Amino acid sequence: MSDTIELVDKLLADLKNIGGVEACIAASRDGLLIRATMEKEQLMDSLSAMSATMLGAAETAITQAEKGVPNRVIVESEHGKLVVVGAGSKALLIVLAAPNAGLGLILLELEKSAKKLKDILT
């Protein structure tokens, strides 16, 4: 067990090292916090729940419109960005980034990390 947790922590720490990334969370598809780079457990708990809801709703919406499955959900505001990507059928990854962070590199790395997370959890 500690091995799996270590691997997830490493993956999140690497992701967090990318410029502009402020926090990363691994959560389950049904909204439970797995691990996060930030200590604020309460905030992480509700972020996990809400991000799973957003991705779930996006998935339902776009498949019902027969437009395939969503690659990611991106939320942009004046004060920051939130990106949610699926990581296999069980998990998802959430990144909180600074408002001026470039999404190009972040999205690229996020895809790679999502694949890794999927493998770690299977």
Partner 1 sequence: MVETGIPKLDDFLDGGIPKGKSLVYYIQPGVEGEIFGMQTIHSTLKSGGTAIFVVSSTIPDIVKGQFKEYGWDIDPYKDKLFFVDSYNPLIGAPSNEKYVVQKPDNINDFNKIILDIIKETPPGTIVFGSLSTIMDLCGEKETIEAVKTWNKMAMVHDHVMVYNFTAWPYSRETLELIQGDLFNAVISIGGIAERVIFGQYFGVLKSDWAEITKKSMLFRVLRPGGVKLFIPKILVTGPFDAGKSTFVHALSTRAISVDRLGTTIAMDHGHVDYKGFSADIFGTPGQERFDPIIKLLSGESMGVFLVVDSTNPADFVRAKHMLEITKSYGLPYVVVANKQDSSGALKPEEIRNQFNLPQDVPVVPVVAKDKIGVFEAFEILIDKITGGA
- Alpha carbons within 13 angstroms on the beta-carbon side of residue 48 total 23
88 scored as a contact of partner 1 (CB under 8 A): no
Q: How far apart are CA 11 and CA 42, in angstroms?
A: 22
Q: Running DSSP on this structure, what letter comes out for residue 89?
A: T
Instruction: Please report where in the chains the tokens 């691990």 appear, as a residue.
Output: 35
Lateral strand order in the sheet of 80-87: 33-36, 21-28, 91-97, 80-87, 73-77
28 scored as a contact of partner 1 (CB under 8 A): yes
- Residue closer to partner 1 (CB basis): 79 or 104: 79
Which span sits near partner 1 by CB under 8 A: 14-22, 43-51, 76-84, 99-107? 43-51
Kindly state the number of chain residues that form the binding site for partner 1, as judged by CB under 8 A. Answer: 27
* Binding residues for partner 1 restricted to 103-122, rule: CB under 8 A: 121
Q: Which residues bind partner 1 (CB under 8 A)?
A: 1-2, 4-5, 8, 28-32, 34-35, 42, 45-46, 49-50, 52-54, 56-57, 59-60, 90-91, 121
